[in-house]
Amino acid sequence: MSGAGTGTPAGGGGTSFVGLVDRIETVVDGTGNGVWSTVELATFLNEAIREYSEHFPRGLRVEIGLTAGVWRYDLPAGCLRVLEAAYPAGAFPPRYLRRWQRERRDFWLGGCYDVFEGDRHELIVGDAVADGEGVAVVYEGLHELIEDVEAIGGFSSVPGEHEDLLVKYVIWRCSAQLQKHEEQSPTSGSSLLMSQYASNARRDRQAYEGALAQALYAREGRSVILSWHTGSGGRVY
């Protein structure tokens, strides 16, 4: 299997992860969900980014170098879905490969690709490639994650207008964690605190899911089409 390199995003960097964690820390402290370390908040933030990426993946492109006789190639870490593959890379007009099941006998006749989906996705090229050629792959991938939650650095690739989704997710995870801790090790014989934590977790989950639903709805760009009839019998939109 050949290495794939790193995907190239369409846009630049955004808010620093340090800034996001600081913002989350301020908000969480104000919700009554306890005091959390930056390591815990950064870990929850990475969870939020992975969840966000499933709904709003990042568009990326990578060119993979090919080797004669090799048909399986590693896709970049964080690849979620392959949208298209063009071989050979750089050809004009592009020659797009058709995605086809590699189990089919005609897959190896050329002009096809498939994706092996495992812990790390692999691209399978059903063409007789030559050394020095490449295949250009456009895919959807994870947004940037915090590589080291103890030494937070780097920048988020999540658009600024969606950062509230990340914050709401972390708030929910904090309240859910408090509920879990209380259920496992009650601080008193009273069930009132446990009930309060459970109520907070439900509230915060609903707040996150509601915000996510609104963001998904906005992405769809739904619009109402109105029509009416003119006096001559025609229809105007």
Residue-wise pLDDT for 159-201, tens only, equals 999 999 999 999 999 999 988 888 887 776 667 788 888 999 9
- In terms of DSSP bridges, do strands 72-74 and 122-125 run parallel, antiparallel, or are they unpaired? antiparallel
- For residue 151, give both structure tokens: 């030494």
Q: What does the pLDDT read at residue 210?
A: 96
CA 180, 184, 188, 190 dihedral sign is positive
SS3 2: strand
Q: What pTM does this model have?
A: 0.81
H helices of the chain, where?
Answer: 17-29, 38-55, 163-184, 192-220
Q: What does the pLDDT read at residue 189?
A: 65
Q: What does the pLDDT read at residue 219?
A: 87
The CA distances from residue 68 to 2, 65, 99, 113, in Å, are 11, 10, 21, 16
CB 70 within 8 A of CB 134: no
Q: Can you list the residues of the chain whose pLDDT is less than 50?
A: 3, 5, 10-12, 223-237
Q: What does the pLDDT read at residue 8?
A: 55
